[in-house]
Chains A and B, each alone.
Chain A
Amino acid sequence: MKSLIQLTVNGRLVEAAVEPNRTLLQFLREDLELTGPKHGCGLGDCGACTVILDGKPVNSCLVLAVQANGREVLTIEGLAENGKLHPIQQAFVDKGAIQCGFCTPGMILSAKALLDANPRPTEQEIRLAISGNLCRCTGYQKIVEAVGEAAKTIQGMEVS
């Protein structure tokens, strides 16, 4: 028995009928064809499916689509505005924080949630914020540097 849900995804209102056991990740990937959130484990271990739900980063494989009813979801596809990369995305590109890229969407969204709440994080705060996002390629160093760089860029933008 499907339920009707209504939610905002990347700023747009979406209405859909979903099975009660459909995860938010399945809903985004298969129904909305937003394949930026990745399926790495299905158990909430790897963080590749991270999206921002009402301002907080969540593993979308552990959230049911029906639980997102009436709420606001941001996926990686909704971050760049008018084709211009968000400063976190730009820093990931510039600093070499991306290798295979499979963890990247989740990593960037965890970083965004951090910088929204804490615009000037310490290195340790950055590491803690992304500790639920596994990366096997980079050893994290360039990711941590990229988040720090993005924080500076965003600060600079706000000052000017």
Chain B
Amino acid sequence: MTQFQVLNTRAPRLDAPAKATGQAKYADDLTMPGMLWGAILHSPYAHAKILHIDTSKALKLPGVKAVVTAKEAGLIKYGVSPARYDETLFAYEKVRYVGDEIAAVAAVDQATAQEALDLIKVDYEELPAVFDMFEAMKEGAPQIHDEFPGNLNAEVHQEFGDVEAAMAASDLVISHTFLNKRQDAAFIEPHACMAVFDSDGRLTVHSSTQVPHYAQRTIAMVLQMPIGKVRVVKPYVGGGFGPKAEATPLEMSAAFLSRLSGKPVKMTYTREEVFLHSRARHQFYAEMSLGVKKDGTMLGLKNKAVLDGGAYTSFGIATVYYSGSLLGGPYKLQGMKYDGYRVYTNRPACGAQRGHGGVAHRAAFEQLLDMTAEKLGMDPIEMRLKNIMKRGDTTVNELDMSSLGMEECIQAVRDASGWNEKKGRLPKGKGIGAACGFFVSGAGYPIYRSDTYHSTVVIKVSEDGGIATVLTGSAEIGQGSDTMVAMFAAETLGIPLDNVRVVSGDTDLSVDLGAYSSRQTLMTGHATKEAAEQVREQIVQLLADDLGYEASSITFRDGIVLFDGGPGNFEKVRTMYIKEHRGWTDPPHGEYLTFREAARLAYLKKGTLVGTGKYKPPKLGGSYKGAAVGTSPAYGCSAQVAEVSVDMETGEVTVDRMYDAHDCGLAVNRTQVEGQMQGSLSMGLGETLFEEVKFDSRGRILNASLGEYRIPTALDMPNVDTVIVESNEPKGPYGAKEVGEGAIMPTIPAILNAIYDATGIRVNELPSSSERLYMKLKSKE
């Protein structure tokens, strides 16, 4: 039996009716009087010098209102981490990938804007280009950025414990390599935005962003405006998954065009532009060795990563650290060594995507575990359980697992799937596989070095006392954060969910770092809880003073007020409320005082009731270089089992069923937790079996459409048995932590381990398409 009134239920999302009826407005649904349409001119070359840009003809085209290039926009360097600001809004001197932005135009309609792009004349001198990360590292390779010789964007070298000693003490060392492919986030809503200056020179950008706060900072920096003069508003967003977590050239182009034209400017990416500009999953190459004792005890792990970063850094510094730090758990290790290299190539830049930096290396590691278990003659689940971390353990790289239901997750999927009856007993072509993973509940540090709060929240109570409105800059992008915030507020105030409204996604409302690194449930949740407590305490105190009760004797529950657990003597307050609202149709009644009456009393004594909350993590992590990446107040974890059928003639894989257990600390909303688990899994399944952004020999994307770039359809997805594990995280609000990204970690290796079980083939390159598996089946015959 749950101790909660609102939390831990299956309350429908607050925004569901608006979305089910088509009333929910997304960025591309917005219009404004006098609005212009913007469009961007892209480089047709992967690597070329820009000799000359002539925009005069475009400017003369009737209907064109503004054209902007590097000349007008300036050369402010920006990016995600201040350590690597390596791009300008528009290319100058040279272009670095097919799609690099040259210019943007605003015109009275879309067709005129497109026509104007064709009239911009750019003289290029093509340069030799490099598209492969290993080629790019070789001596004599074309240099993409002068400041980064050898095209080395970032390198990381870390060692924890004594890895050589751990390997020397091992009875068995097994090695494995793994290569994934560039994955597109393929959210169904392309990025869109509307930029408008008001008469005071204040800029508002309505944008499909995950991170209004970071977008505001970057836009202000590039447009050289005070941050307070830039407002970013996020309407409903049609999925983000990471690539909408940075300011985009779309937003900044629209802002410049609006400044130049004096009109609102709307811009939307085409689907092809989403593939070009959406900084999605890197290609990773992993090289890994694991040393174990004969009894299966894991001792040492050596991990090397090479990342194809594309032409710019984006989130890449964090990405290359995550590929190392996220292997520190959930298994005990005595030593871990990591060498990571992020390399520039003449391809579109890559960034953060669900499971940031961790997914490919987790896939390599969890396969390595199975390979090791097989050599030792152990059941792979037994081997995992033997090495599993528990609540309170610290990883070899100093991550504090203050709660960790990893063992419960493994046992849950083992039992639900009938693992013990199936493993090793299925016919040829049928297989079962398992894997685990964990992920942060919010990055421990902001992207820029700062003492900022990660989240602040304001709660305001309506003057009649009926409705609490939560004001937050956090970003609802489909994951359900508005509903999460409302549930925390309702639970803490002791009122029904219906009586809470949420206004979110606007930098005018509060500071919130936004929807990335699975941070909002823990961080925005904490700030919401604190704000609600402040409101509650004010009302309790005023009520206590007025009625002569001890404050500690007053509680709110489901919208009513309890005095020492009973109705108490509140006649005075009720009489006052009813007198004030004479003639109203809904006078409070019943044997208990309502929250509404109590809040009205507080308003009359104090004015508008406001509570504010804030959260920032405590100082986290070790003192080594890069220790910040991977830190988090808490870690979610999950285990999955996949059952597959492989057609031994064609190599086609069907995932028949999956079992997924996730520890989210406390399921704030059980339906939404399952939704995150099932959705994560579908993105992982797509990456495993068919997703790959393909390029031609000149760096042009070959499959920049949702027809040719295949994501899972309803026919590809199996049903998933979901098990929610709740470990009650001590550092989470009411015990809650992440679910949005940890749930993707085990998917790829669980399916690949199942394919091995079915076929005896170890897939070390994604996607495991029928073509790739067919070739391997043939060469094995």
B189 touches A102 (CB 8 A): yes
Cα of A152 to Cα of B102 in the assembled complex, Å: 55
Give chain A interface residues in 120-151, CB to chain B under 8 Å.
126-128, 130-144
Chain B residue nearest in CB terms to A147: B714
A134 to chain B, nearest CB (A): 6
B209 to chain A, nearest CB (A): 13
Knowing A137-B478, A140-B682 are in contact, say whether A101-B15 is a contact too (CB < 8 A): yes
Which residue from B10, B238, B683, B719 sits with its C-beta under 8 Å from A100?
B238
Which residues of B sit under 8 angstroms from A102, Cβ to Cβ? 26, 187-189, 238-239, 478
Most A C-beta atoms less than 10 A away, residue of B18, B270, B682 = B682
CB 8 Å contact bits of B8-46 with A (1 = contact, 0 = none): 001011011111111111101101000000000000000
Q: Is A42 an interface position by the 8 A CB rule?
A: yes
Interface size class of B (residues with CB under 8 A): 35 or more
Point out the residues of chain A lying under 8 angstroms from B20, CB to CB.
76, 85, 89-90, 92-93, 98, 101, 104, 108
Chain B interface: which of A1-9, A33-41, A63-71?
A33-41
- Are A39 and B679 in contact, CB atoms less than 8 angstroms apart? no
State which of A36, A40, A126, A140 has its C-beta within 8 Å of the C-beta of B190: A40
Known: A45-B706, A100-B478, A128-B715. A85 touches B17 (CB 8 A): yes
Known: A139-B678, A139-B682. Is A96-B719 also a contact (CB below 8 A)?
no
A80 is an interface residue with CB less than 8 A from chain B: yes
- How far apart sit A47 and B362, CA to CA, in the bound complex (Å)? 33
The tally of residues in A whose CB lies under 8 Å from a CB in B reads 56
Q: Which residues of A contact B24 (CB under 8 A)?
A: 101
Alpha-carbon distance between A36 and B185 when the two chains are bound, in angstroms = 23
Is B187 touching A96 in the complex (CB atoms < 8 A)? no
Contact indicator A40/B271 (Cβ below 8 Å): yes
* Given A134-B706, A141-B678, A142-B678: A98 in contact with B16 (beta carbons within 8 A): yes
Which of A33, A42, A136 contacts B679 (CB under 8 A)? Answer: A136
Partner of A137 from B23, B26, B28, B675 at Cβ < 8 Å:
B675
Question: Which residues 711-729 in B have Cβ within 8 Å of A in the complex?
Answer: 711-715, 717, 719-720
CA distance A106 to B679 in the complex (A): 18
Query: With A42-B271, A96-B672, A102-B238 given, is the CB distance from A136 to B21 under 8 Å?
Result: no
In the complex, the answer to whether A138 meets B672 with C-beta atoms within 8 Å is no
User: Please, how many angstroms separate the alpha-carbon atoms of A96 and B16 in the complex?
Assistant: 8
* Contact (Cβ within 8 A) A46 B714: no
- Say yes or no: is B480 at the interface (Cβ < 8 Å to chain A): yes
- Residue A105 lies at the interface, judged by CB distance under 8 Å to chain B: yes
**Which residue, B22, B185, B241, has most C-beta atoms of chain A within 10 A?**
B22
Residue of A nearest to B719 (CB): A141
Measured in the bound complex, the distance between the Cα atoms of B506 and A59 in whole Å is 33
Chain A 79-117: CB-based contact to B (< 8 A → 1; otherwise 0): 110000100011011111011111111001000000000
Contact pick for B682, options A104, A105, A138, CB 8 Å = A138
Is residue A77 within 8 Å, beta carbon to beta carbon, of the partner chain? Answer: yes
- A59 CB to closest chain B CB (Å) equals 11
Given the interface pairs A101-B238, A102-B188, A134-B706, the reply to whether A96 lies near B22 with Cβ below 8 Å is no
User: Which B residues are in CB contact (< 8 Å) with A23?
Assistant: none
User: Nearest-CB distance from B247 to chain A (Å)?
Assistant: 20
Partner of B187, one of A93, A126, A136: A136
Contact between B237 and A100, CB atoms less than 8 A apart: yes
Smallest beta-carbon distance A9→chain B, Å: 13
| A45 close to B705 (CB less than 8 A) | yes
Determine the chain B residues whose CB is within 8 A of the CB of A41 once the complex forms.
Answer: 190, 271, 705-707
Task: Across the interface, name the chain B residue whose C-beta is closest to A144.
Answer: B714
In the assembled complex, the Cα of A99 lies from the Cα of B680 at a distance in Å of: 12
Q: Is the CB of B12 within 8 A of A141?
A: no
Complex Cα distance, B26 from A37, in Å, reads 11
- Chain A residues in 8 Å Cβ range of B22: 34-37, 75-77, 105
Whether A38 and B26, one on each chain, are in contact in the complex, defined by CB atoms closer than 8 angstroms, is: yes
Query: In the complex, what residues of A have CB within 8 A of residue B237's CB?
Result: 100
Q: Does B394 contact A (CB under 8 A)?
A: no
- Tell me which of A85, A95, A139 has the highest count of chain B C-beta atoms within 10 A of its own C-beta: A139
Q: Is A48 an interface residue (CB 8 A)?
A: yes
Report whether A138 and B28 are in contact in the complex, using a CB–CB cutoff of 8 Å: no
A139–B655 CA distance with the chains assembled, in angstroms? 13
A138 and B12: CB pair below 8 A?
Answer: no
- In the complex with contacts A101-B238, A102-B26, A131-B713, A138-B675 CB distance below 8 A: yes
User: A128 vs B713: C-alpha distance in the bound complex, in angstroms?
Assistant: 9
User: Which residues in A have their C-beta under 8 angstroms from that of B239?
Assistant: 99-100, 102, 136-137
| Nearest CB of B to A136, in Å | 5
Taking the closest CB of chain B, its distance from the CB of A12, in whole angstroms, is: 16
- CB of A43 within 8 A of chain B? yes
Partner of B675, one of A96, A108, A144: A96
Across the interface, name the chain A residue whose C-beta is closest to B238: A102
Instruction: Give Cα distance in the complex from A108 to B189, angstroms.
Output: 17
Given A35-B29, A76-B22: A138 and B678 interface contact (C-beta under 8 Å)? yes
Residues of A within 8 A of B683 (CB): 136
Contacts of B381 in A (CB 8 A): none
**Complexed CA–CA distance, A37 and B711 (Å):** 21
A40 touching B679, Cβ below 8 Å: no
Q: B236 touching A101 by the CB < 8 A rule? A: yes
Given that A79-B21, A101-B478 are contacting pairs, would A136 and B241 also be in contact in the complex, using a CB cutoff of 8 Å? yes
Residues on A facing B (Cβ under 8 Å): 29, 33-46, 48, 75-77, 79-80, 85, 89-90, 92-96, 98-105, 108, 126-128, 130-144
Could you list 18 further interchain pairs (A-B, Cβ under 8 angstroms) beyond the known A41-B190, A76-B21? A36-B22, A38-B188, A40-B190, A40-B706, A41-B271, A77-B22, A77-B23, A79-B21, A89-B20, A94-B12, A100-B189, A101-B18, A102-B238, A104-B19, A134-B186, A136-B185, A136-B188, A137-B675
CB pairs A–B below 8 angstroms (11 shown):
A35-B26, A38-B188, A45-B705, A76-B22, A96-B675, A99-B239, A105-B22, A127-B714, A130-B714, A134-B706, A136-B241
